[in-house]
Chains A and B, each alone.
Chain A
Amino acid sequence: MKTALKCHKIIGGYGEGEALVSHEPICFYLTDPKTGIVREKTHELAGKNISNKVLVFPSGKASSVVQIDGLFKLASYNLAPKAMIVKDVETVLIVSAFIAKVPLVDRLERDPFKAINTGDLVRVDANKGTVVVERRKP
Chain B
Amino acid sequence: MLNGEFGGGTQKAMELLVAIGDAYDAEKMIPISRAHAASSGQEGDMYFVELLADGGAKCRVPTSTNPVYDIKYFHKLFDVPKDEAEVARRVMEAYSRVGAILSWSCVPYLSENIPLYGESVAFSESSATPYVNSVIGAYTNREAAQSALAAGIIGKTPKYGLHIKENRKGTTLFDVKATLRDEFDYTLLGYYVGKAIGYGIPVLTGITRPPNTEELINFCAMSNTSGAISMFYIPGHTVEAATVKKAFQGDVPKEKVTVTDRELKGVYEELQTTSKKADFIQLGCPHYTLKQIGKVAELLSGKRIHGDSSFWVCTSATTKLLADRVGYTNMIEKAGGRVVVDTCIDEPCWIAYKQKVGMTDSPKGAYYRRYREVRLERLQDCVKAAVNEEGRGKP
A: residues with CB less than 8 A from B are 9-11, 63-65, 68-69, 71-73, 76, 89-92, 94-96, 98-99, 106
Contacts and interface: CB of A to CB of B under 8 A. Distances in A.
B136 interface: no
Nearest to B40: A65
28 contacts: A10-B19, A63-B126, A64-B38, A64-B124, A64-B143, A64-B145, A65-B38, A65-B42, A65-B145, A69-B43, A69-B45, A72-B44, A72-B47, A73-B43, A89-B23, A91-B142, A91-B143, A92-B144, A94-B20, A94-B23, A94-B147, A95-B16, A95-B20, A95-B144, A95-B146, A95-B147, A98-B19, A99-B146
Contacts of B22: 9-10
Interface in B134-149: 141-147
Contact of B16 (A76, A89, A98, A106): A98
Nearest to A28: B44
A96 B144 CA distance: 9
A72 B43 contact: yes
Contacts of A106: 23
Interface of B: 15-16, 19-20, 22-24, 38, 40, 42-45, 47-48, 124, 126, 141-147, 225
- Interface SS of A by simple majority: helix
A76 B43 contact: yes
Nearest to A68: B44
Nearest to A12: B19
A92 B145 CA distance: 9
Q: 5 smallest A-B Cβ distances: which pairs?
A: A72-B44, A64-B144, A69-B44, A95-B144, A68-B44
A91 B44 contact: no
Nearest to B124: A64
Max chain A CB contacts within 10 Å: which of B22, B43, B144? B144
Contacts of A9: 22
A73 B44 contact: yes
B294 to A, nearest CB: 30
Contacts of A71: 44
A92 B147 CA distance: 8
Nearest to B224: A63
Contacts of B24: 89
Given A9-B22, A63-B126, A91 B147 contact: yes
A90 B20 CA distance: 9
Given A95-B144, A95-B146, A10 B23 contact: yes
